[in-house]
Structure 1
Amino acid sequence: METCMNFLKFASILPILVCLVQPVTATAQSWPSKPLQLIVPQGAGGSTDNLARLVAQALGERLGQNVVVDNRAGAGGVLGVAAAAKAAPDGYTLLIGSNTTVAANAFLYASFPVDPLKDLVPLAMAADAPFALVVPAGSPLKSVGDLVRAAKAAPGKLNYGSGTSSALLCAELFKAAVGVDLRRVPYKTSAQALTDMIGGHLDVICEPLSTSLPNVRAGRLRALAQTGAERSPSAPDLETVAESVKGVAYTAWVAFYAPAGLPKDVATRLGNELFSIVNNPAVMDRIRAIGFDPRPGNAESLAAVHRAEMASVAATVKAAGIKAE
């Protein structure tokens, strides 16, 4: 009799369970049923924005829905990342993040409102941009070795400029790795730092390779080395810092995320679609034209890169004594 009663109780709640499960299943199966939003935490017209628009168009074609780029510039990318993290995890809001906006900013802003590893779901790696150590064209420094020797001979005498978080972390990572003291000169923008560099007011700067090369080729600057682990195809004749100082590498990577809580099947679909787009040879060519090196990677590889970046930035910030603002 007790078994019979238990069965009747289960049978009575079964319709309720079915009703609870069906909407979730229907939502996952019907996605996407409306346009998606891709948040770019920078202004329109920059390299990250251009990359986002390239991928958004291709993703929209693959999903059969428009993917609208939403530029949320402000506070070094904090506003855009926060908006994405707080959005509904329904597959209709995506974020293009970088090693700065979803990693370094967590240590550089005292009131950073996001826990990047908990509040965001990694979808796919897209690209990275190696930096370069550059000096004025008339500088006596002609190699990484020259820079290290000069800095060790006169600690604190040589300076470096930084107009972005990436430039700051790149230079501080180099300082810690080789054990030298370079004096920081902060700027509001990278363009201002470059102008002073060309004018001979700075000794060295760590600047994206894509924006350094035009000035190097025009004879205004000299590149000592690029900071990627391998030589970039855009500058195959320029040695890497790692060729002189083992283990030193820095790149600014860019990747795609969604708010935490995204249904697993939707996350898998998005990750697969994004990886396929970035891994397409024609898209790779266009990514290079924007100024990035293509770096297709799945969600798992992005998660590993993100964790490693957080650990690296934490160590660099601590070693440099950088205080969150």
Structure 2
Amino acid sequence: MKTDTKERIIGYIKQKNEVTANELAGFLGISAPALYKQLNKLIEDKVLSKSGKPPKVFYYLTPNVTEQAPGLLDQKLANFINENYLFVSPVGSLLEGVEGFNYWCGQNNLSVEKTVEEYEKTLQKYLSLKHGGLLDGRKKIQDTFKEVFLDEIYYLDFYSIERFGKTKLGALLLYAKQSQNKMLIRKIAELVRDKIVQLIKEKKIDAIGFVPPTAQRRVQLQKELEKMLMLNLPVINLVKATGEVAVQQKSLSKLEDRVENARRTIFVDDNRVYKNILLLDDAVGSGATLNETAKKIKDKKMCTGKVIGLALVGSFKGFDVISGV
């Protein structure tokens, strides 16, 4: 009896543990298009997984992970998970919604049915703190700094929540920056654009400034967001000027050091005047960067109305250091 191509692929990988497409093509004696058709179907069926990027991609059998049988989750809970949950596996697979939640529960030997109810209850507690889709950080920043130059400050989501770790936006932000992955940055832009546009309309924003990063990367998240969000607003030219050694805010634990870092490394290379200005940062730690940038804008008399800060994510415990991003 002739063994079909699918079974031969699985059998070969069982022997070798992990293989490249070139190895498989040589073993099977079939064309590249025919092979990739088989591989893509096996990946879609979760029989195989892959790691790496062309030209070095390795295929291996998907590890057995306890999965929730379809239909056992209440549809309302399933919809809630699909909207809010995202997990990045140890090998970099992006697992969204129920698929990701099942994987995480399997990895931690947890019952999906019980854990999903705990997740909903926990996340709803955090979501209840939002007003109009935003988390208001004014009180905390007023308690943190003697002088506050931001008129208002908000963030779109928490970076992480108790027990379950990073939020969907928090996970996307972390891995987008670490991997310099434009696909993940685009996911972030799609996730946050409507909320940012709504804030711009409500606050009658005339111009926006994207807080520049300290670390030099080939793909800069803020620059990519600026292009992908397409906000159709004048962009204030903010410059990051470091010393001989670039010191990131997240590496500083003392508040006064963070203030000094922001004061001496962020510069406003612009003189245009606007009424209301929005400053967009990826993550709020102490809030020092946004606050000092607002001061510099006001010192240059560039703003006749309000300077409003907005971060994609922030800490639940006030403006703590978010070391991951």
Per the TM superposition, whether the score is higher than 0.5 is no
TM-score, normalised relative to structure 2: 0.24
More helix by share: 1
TM-score, normalised relative to structure 1: 0.24
With CA pairs under 8 Å and 6+ residues apart, which has the higher RCO, 1 or 2? 1
